[in-house]
Chain A
Amino acid sequence: MQPKPLNVLCLVSIGAHPTSGRARRAEQDARAVELGLRLAGEQVQVLHAGNAEEEALRAYLGMGLSELSVLQQPDGADALPVLFDYLKDSGAQLVLTGSQAETGEGSGMLPYLLAEQLGWPLVVGLAEVEKVENGVAQVLQALPRGQRRRLQVRLPFLASVDNAAPVARQSAFGPARRGTLWTDEVHVLDDDLLSNASFQPARPRPKRLKVIKAKTGAERMKAATAKAAGGGGQVLKDVSAQEGAEAIFKLLLEEGVIR
């Protein structure tokens, strides 16, 4: 018998194209949907809190979903309480989110706050779900520098995906048109962020200058022309190859790069 597929729910938001700023499906959220489709197939549920009129939402439907639920909210409303209310009794076993929104504050706090309120564990940077057995999932977490870590976590849990998750499939136009957007009117709570904070176009960050703290001109000259010199490095001369290899091996082990 085919095992019962996981009950997966993906939270999606509207993204912004990095150059034009035009609304699009958010890159990481699309990856979350991709992961959900791989885990649960057609059964994956996709949820958005915001404006159901937004055309960019259909790009998610174009990935092969038949429907998408929207909790209707105006811009600038706090998505957290409505998502919490929805998830509380949705029966989802795995909730997938992107790790950072492309519009608005983009603090990446949503999965953390949801997990905190729901009391679920949170896996950050989910790359792959290896297996689910007896209500326990074994997953791979993406670490920097292409490394992976294996984790075991009990269902239900929340997971955020970043750019290490599988690349999202293309969105097809036909399914995107045919899919249905279910709208739910919800109680709206305003987010108080903008009462004391303000958005401005991103300023280019100043490049850090290499400050040379030298008292005399000669010192400055020396600093400007110096070659990279570690200085004080240990040099092993006239040693046998074995001793040399041993010294290198010891350093590598100390740095924890060999396992």
Chain B
Amino acid sequence: MSDIIRRDPRAERIARNRLHPLHATVQRSETSWMGPNGIIRKNPHAVGFIGPNGTKRIDRSGAQQGGTAKRSTQAAAVQLPLHTVAAPSFYIVVVPDLVGGRLTTHDRDLLGLAHKLAGHQGAVLAVVFGEHKESSFDTAGVDRLLHLDGALYSGYAPEQQVQALTAIERQFRPRHWLLPDSRTGGGELGRRLAAQLGERPATRVWQVTDEHCIGRAGAGQQDLQRPLARVILAASECAEPVSESRHEALAVSLDTEVARCLPRIEDLGAVAVDPAATPMAEAEFILSGGNGVRDWDLFHRTAVALGATEGASRVAVDDGHMARNRQVGATGTWVTARVYLAVGISGAIQHLQGIGACDKVVAVNLDAGCDMIKRADLSVIGDSAAILAALIERMAAHRAGGNRDAA
């Protein structure tokens, strides 16, 4: 719908003529409108609506207008202003962790910091290795995106990645390198890069002011304040993430092919660890059961089949089906799992608090109206036992198929 104000001369004529049979229908019921010469007009009598018990009600939030006035259509999703850097005078390079293929909050904070450093002249260049699932690079604050894909970068290949980063160093001459000082890769990659470039990095940086940065030193008893380094390994919450602008995320590429380096460290793949042994707060994938689980033996078998760490709601724990240290929620453990599969859990606020940091929530429940469904990214309405059994079957088929491929 366009916002241009158009006059309707016929309707105006009818509105002026009180004897016209259609006069009542064209009477304005809006409370305020733009007059013909651009002045806002208000009709104080039209404000509010008649409530159910016959009294006039005024809702100042503007959300509710009774049945009288026609509600204006909800504005389309707000388009944030686009921040463009046509010809960047310098680059700030960010190498996000992209855990699970998506930007983490740490990555977003880092991009926010990069923008602080880039100002209006510089461009933020994000370097992404391998496959990713992120679709919001633009709102996260990426001006230029360099995507390095291919078999070379799959798996654990820090030496090859450093090789690519040095190629970027030669081509873009970035003013700063920003990496997350995290255990999920950024800390290691950043230090390898710094050693390669011969730069002394500022590590565990948590505050950057104009010319200085402050980072934790030693075991965290001291802070180290120093002039802004070229390579910055920043802690999480080092700056506010970008939230008020949209960015181009223009794809750029390297002029030269990255030399293939002979890997001295060979990746033999992940090792199966006992999911029951990983602490719940750290577990990556949790299968959690609540009052809607009847067959606990089946639940445990599903957890084994999926290779998930087990969790439970308070009711399940109170009823003695699960150990107390498995309780998720306000009075239990606050989990940080990337994927949380909640079976037969209604989603009481005390429980939802505990899974606030989870990325993807999957719910299995009989009740389509419960709060867990509102929180979940995928919900399946159905009986828990049947779905768990079907999941075990599906996993068995997957395993069998996988083994056949391998053989």
Residue of B61, B271, B306, B362 touching A258 (CB-CB under 8 A)? B306
Known: A123-B265, A144-B184. A202 touches B270 (CB 8 A): no
CB–CB B223/A201 < 8 A: yes
Say whether B255 faces chain A, with CB atoms less than 8 Å apart: no
Are B270 and A251 in touch, CB under 8 angstroms?
no
Known contacts A144-B282, A148-B273, A213-B243; is A200 also within 8 Å of B223 by CB? yes
User: In the complex, how many residues of chain A place their beta carbon closer than 8 angstroms to a beta carbon of chain B?
Assistant: 85
Q: How far is the CA of A257 from the CA of B278 in the complex (A)?
A: 14
Q: Which residues of B contact A205 (CB under 8 A)?
A: 206, 237
Q: Is the interface of A mostly helix, strand, loop or mixed?
A: mixed
In the complex, B222 has a CB within 8 A of chain A? yes
Complex-state Cα separation, A106 to B219, whole angstroms: 7
Per-residue CB contact flags for chain B residues 212-232 toward chain A (1 = under 8 Å, else 0) read: 001011111111111100000
- Given known contacts A244-B387, A252-B306, A255-B100, A112 and B376 CB-to-CB distance under 8 angstroms: no
Instruction: Assess whether A108 is interfacial by the CB under 8 Å rule.
Output: yes
Q: Are A151 and B338 interface neighbours, CB within 8 A?
A: no
B-side interface residues, number (CB < 8 Å)? 94
* Whole-angstrom distance between the Cβ of A83 and the nearest chain B Cβ: 14
CB–CB B376/A233 < 8 A? yes
Asked if B378 contacts A197 (CB within 8 A), the reply is no
Q: Does A187 contact B (CB under 8 A)?
A: no
Main secondary structure of the interface of B (DSSP, over half): mixed
| In the assembled complex, A1 has its CB within 8 A of some CB on chain B | no
Could you tell me the distance in whole angstroms from the C-beta of A243 to the nearest C-beta in chain B?
8
Q: Is B188 an interface residue (CB 8 A)?
A: yes
Partner pick for B222 among A18, A200, A247, CB 8 A cutoff: A200
Q: Which of B42-50, B67-75, B134-142, B392-400 contacts A (4 or more CB under 8 A)?
A: B392-400
Q: Does B259 contact A (CB under 8 A)?
A: no
Closest Cβ–Cβ distance, residue A231 to chain B (whole Å): 7
Q: Which residue of A lies closest to B155 (CB)?
A: A149
Shortest A182–chain B CB gap in Å is: 27
Q: Which chain B residues numbered 243 to 289 have a C-beta less than 8 Å away from chain A?
A: 243-244, 264-273, 277-279, 282-285
25 contacts between A and B (CB under 8 A): A15-B219, A16-B219, A16-B221, A103-B219, A107-B200, A112-B192, A121-B159, A148-B270, A149-B267, A149-B268, A193-B226, A197-B227, A199-B222, A199-B223, A227-B374, A228-B374, A233-B374, A233-B378, A234-B377, A241-B383, A248-B364, A248-B378, A252-B362, A257-B308, A258-B306
Which of B159, B279, B391 has the most chain A CB atoms closer than 10 A to its own CB?
Answer: B391
A4 interfacial by beta-carbon distance below 8 Å? no
User: Please, how many angstroms separate the alpha-carbon atoms of A110 and B293 in the complex?
Assistant: 52
The one of A108, A116, A199, A239 that contacts B196, using a Cβ cutoff of 8 Å = A116
The answer to whether the Cβ of A224 comes within 8 Å of any Cβ in the partner chain is no
Residue ID in chain A nearest B244 by CB atoms:
A213
- Chain A residues lying within 8 Å of B201, measured Cβ to Cβ, are 107, 109
Tell me whether A248 and B373 are in contact (CB under 8 A).
no
The contact of A149 among B156, B221, B375, B389, by CB within 8 Å, is B156
Cα separation A227 to B347 with both chains bound (whole Å):
11
A115 and B159 CA atoms in complex are apart in Å by 12
Interface presence of B368 (CB below 8 A): yes
| Residue contact A248 to B356, C-beta cutoff 8 Å | no
A252 to B382, alpha carbons, bound, how many Å?
A: 18
Task: Say if the beta carbon of B386 comes within 8 Å of chain A.
Answer: yes
Contact among B216, B360, B378, B386 with A247 in the assembled complex (CB-CB below 8 Å): B378
As a 0/1 sequence over residues 223 to 259 of chain A, the CB contacts with chain B under 8 angstroms (1 = contact) are 0000111110111111101101111110111111111
A131 within 8 A of B: no
Q: Flag if B390 contacts A146 (CB, 8 Å).
A: no
Selected contact of A108 from candidates B200, B203, B341, B375, CB within 8 Å: B203
The reply to whether the CB of B144 lies closer than 8 angstroms to some CB of chain A is no
In the complex, whether B304 has a CB less than 8 A from a CB of chain A is no
CB pair A241–B219 under 8 Å, yes or no, is: no
A112 to B271, CA, bound (A): 25
